[in-house]
Amino acid sequence: MVGVLIQMKLAVLRHSTTDAKRALNGLGYSAGICLAVATLVLAFLDFSHPRLLMDLLAVTFALWALGWMAGPIFAGEPPLNGEHFHRQPVPRRTLATGLLAAALVAVTTAITLLAFCALVVFAARLSWVAVVVSVPAVVLLLLLVVLLSRVVTLLFRMLSKSRLGGVVTATVTAAMVSLASFSWILVIGVSLLLEYGFPPAFSTVVRALPSSWSLIAVEAAGRGDWAGTAGPLLALAVVVAALFLAWSALLGPQRMDRPVVRGSSARRAARRGPLFQGDQGAIYLKELRTWWRDPVRTQAIVMGPAFAVITALFPLIFGFTAFLPFVGAAGALMAAATCANSYGQDGTALWLTLTVPGKEKADVRARQLAWLTVFGPLTLALTLAGCLLHGDATLVPWALAATLAALGGGSGLLAWVSVTALVPGPDPHKSKNSPMDHGDVTGQSFLMFFLVTLAISPALGVAWAGHALDLPALLWASVPVALLAGVLCHVALGSAAARTLRDKGPELLHLMRSGKPAAAAEETGEEAGTSPFETMSGKHQALMWSAMAVGVLGLFPQGLVPLGIKLSGSPAKVWFLALHVPEPWQWPVIAVMVAIGLAGFWSAYLVYRAAAPSPSSPAPTASPASASSPPTSVTSSPASPGS
């Protein structure tokens, strides 16, 4: 059974991995190898504090375990899982053993094993007995992270279609995005910890994690403490066995959510206020209920504020609080970027709107109003809380102007982008477990991020002029400018979206049903649903992600963060280039860095759009053999830490 499942997995990967995926996987594997080598190098270093090396290794192993827990959730379906075999007469323990062996046959497993060999290096610095103990300790640690990954993934699937699952998904996603964007702050924080050491309470908590038990056993073997060696190893073996039994029990179809159908009587509907009357009011009420009941919308509600709050926590490592007033603006910006595919999320239910003539404008306005109802009070409350926690009234007009402009600009842009750059997604009842399987909205998010930033720019420009000229009235004038710009975006772009929906509604419905524009499908004859990532060459993918990295580094850590430090009057320079140049040149350098960041985001979007199939591209020529044979398709599964 084990050999058969391993061969099946290799066959699935061999027939489902495209050149673009191989290139993307190659980038991921290269990054993983670099991290594994860095973990090995860490075990060779000497530190002033005698127990600091053990603490650092414990933290590193915990991060590897966290990566294995979170990675498969967002990488999509693995090549093989229990649902593929739930109709086969195979005992669950036998199936779990085969799937575990198949999961161990993977590049990511080999990379993780290389990283965990740091435990052997650490043992070699103690004694030969510790080296002997480190071998089973490494095996148990590897089994721990693989099984933990499988159990967490199955539990996540059981929650994925519930609102609680949406909250968990959004929080984890926000933490990963924030960590990836602002990990440089953690690097600086670790450098300070290397100088002063970890707090005792932090060391105790990290060493209590199961990922540190093998390290504790090896350290005890180096001291000749056999009870301290056998205890952690035995406990780790028990945890591994418990995870294996839990995984065996969870294999197969699982469902924890239950459908909830609620309605309201005509009498209750008549008692509602004028806001819920008429066509727009009915659609507005439907949208509010969708925001509350749909797990995908729940993810969107939590994603923006969670990203903003988690991002604001990183600078607190250095006692920097100037970002706190802008938590609401960052939440509104991220909310606009993640909610710009509202029509795509509805799937083919778009036909319900198209079959009622003349209701397109009411539908668009109701969606805009519902989005503002959900995120307006939330982001304004975050802005107020951030200003109170920061305590300096200087940044209040900046924060208020940025939040209002992001709300107004976002409400208009998300309606317009949702119909002009619609991304086909599965119908809600067919949505999969991974949040990455709800449609490839990468390019759409890039576009929204760039456009909402442009919508905020006029208000922030007025605020900067008031600050530079030392005119408080002009500084506070940025607030009505932001409100005016937001209203204009809301009205003008909402009307443009309604016209597009009215004029191109059938084409959008065809796009939702087939995954490809009607004209392109007729002229190119390409398979529907092809993502630009599937057709993009490895060189273009590397170029796109490099431009994205330049955008993130230029706009945030080298642009907006030093801007906040300058406005707060803090003397901290850290590693920001603009703060290390002479005073007259600091503002120009900040402006250049912001421009570089925006150019990076825009370049990444252009590369992404260029990879999309063009309607004018020639149709592929089919050979006689292929013309006479029926078409076949292979369902592809993105690579995950278990593949």
Q: Report if residue 477 sits inside a domain.
A: no
Please tell me which residue, 612 or 132, carries the higher pLDDT value: 132
Residues 419 and 567 occupy one common structural domain: no
Residues 307 and 422 occupy one common structural domain: yes
**Quick check: 61 pLDDT over 80?**
yes
Q: Are 66 and 584 in contact (CB under 8 A)?
A: no
Residues 229 and 292 occupy one common structural domain: no
Task: Look at phi and psi of residue 358 and say left if phi exceeds 0, alpha if psi is from -120 to 50, else beta.
Answer: left
Q: Report if residue 259 sits inside a domain.
A: no
User: Which residue range(s) make up the domain with 577?
Assistant: 535-614
Residues 168 and 231 occupy one common structural domain: yes
CA-CA-CA-CA dihedral for 105, 107, 112, 113, to nearest 10: 60
- What is the per-residue pLDDT for 347? 75
Q: Which H or E run includes 641?
A: none
Q: Between helices 327-338 and 442-468, what is the axis angle to 10°?
A: 150
Residues 357 and 393 occupy one common structural domain: yes
Closest CA to 368 of 413, 333, 330: 413
Last residue of a domain, one of 492, 523, 554: 523
Integer Cα distance of 341 and 92 in angstroms: 40
- What is the per-residue pLDDT for 641? 37
Residues 507 and 539 occupy one common structural domain: no
Integer Cα distance of 344 and 422 in angstroms: 6
Please tell me which residue, 84 or 421, carries the higher pLDDT value: 421
Residues 34 and 176 occupy one common structural domain: yes
Residues 100 and 144 occupy one common structural domain: yes
% pLDDT > 90, the chain: 21
Of 219-223, 489-493, 571-575, which has the strongest mean pLDDT? 489-493
Integer Cα distance of 561 and 593 in angstroms: 11
Closest CA to 399 of 466, 468, 328: 328
The total number of structural domains that make up the chain = 3
Q: Taking the model in full, what pTM does it have?
A: 0.64
Q: Report if residue 222 sits inside a domain.
A: yes
- What is the per-residue pLDDT for 117? 93
Integer Cα distance of 232 and 215 in angstroms: 9
Of 158-172, 218-232, 322-336, 477-491, which has the strongest mean pLDDT? 477-491
Q: Report if residue 457 sits inside a domain.
A: no
Integer Cα distance of 132 and 117 in angstroms: 13
Q: Report if residue 572 sits inside a domain.
A: yes
Q: Report if residue 356 sits inside a domain.
A: yes
Residues 339 and 309 occupy one common structural domain: yes
Residues 149 and 185 occupy one common structural domain: yes
Q: Report if residue 130 sits inside a domain.
A: yes
Residues 293 and 167 occupy one common structural domain: no
Residues 364 and 492 occupy one common structural domain: yes
Q: Report if residue 606 sits inside a domain.
A: yes
Span 104-119, average pLDDT = 88
Last residue of a domain, one of 523, 554, 583: 523
